[in-house]
Amino acid sequence: MVTGIVPYLVTNGNGQEAVKFYQHALGAEVINLSTFGDMPEDPNYPIAPEMKNLVMNAQLKVGNALLMLSDNMPGHPYQLGNQVTVALLISNKEKANEIFEKLQDGGKVTMPIQETFWSPAYGQVTDKFGIDWQVSTDPEK
């Protein structure tokens, strides 16, 4: 079951500044902020020192709504027009896989759905209408 649909902002290396800005401008409460430096180390994909403080994921509570944010993935070009994606929070892995498969019909997978250290099933897909989706299992919901 889908438990949430959240706007997800992508910033160009200034995510920490953006979090502070939205705290001030919107009265947002920071629920969580993880940096690329917080990720478990993987010798196959080392994180450069200048990337360690970039925001991997921030969750902000704005009133009764949730807003998510991250810096652009290091090493990938920042493309204007792709600053907002839609994050789907799903209660179980099977449903996440099912929805991901349906969203990719006629679209393009940018990150295959897979287990990550933060989710049992996470993937990114651009649907046939050009909308970028992040499908994430959140078994606690």
**HEC secondary structure over the chain:** CEEEEEEEEEECCCHHHHHHHHHHHHCCEEEEEEEHHHCCCCCCCCCCHHHCCCEEEEEEEECCEEEEEEECCCCCCCCCCCCEEEEEEECCHHHHHHHHHHHCCCCEEEEEEECCCCCCCEEEEECCCCCEEEEEECCCC
Domain 2-137: assigned CATH number: 3.10.180.10
> pTM to 2 decimals?
0.76
pLDDT at 141: 55
Domain boundaries, the chain: 2-137
Digit-by-digit pLDDT tens for the chain (141 residues) are 888 899 999 999 999 999 999 999 889 999 999 999 998 888 888 888 888 999 999 999 998 999 999 998 777 788 777 788 999 999 999 999 999 999 999 999 999 999 998 899 999 999 987 889 999 998 765
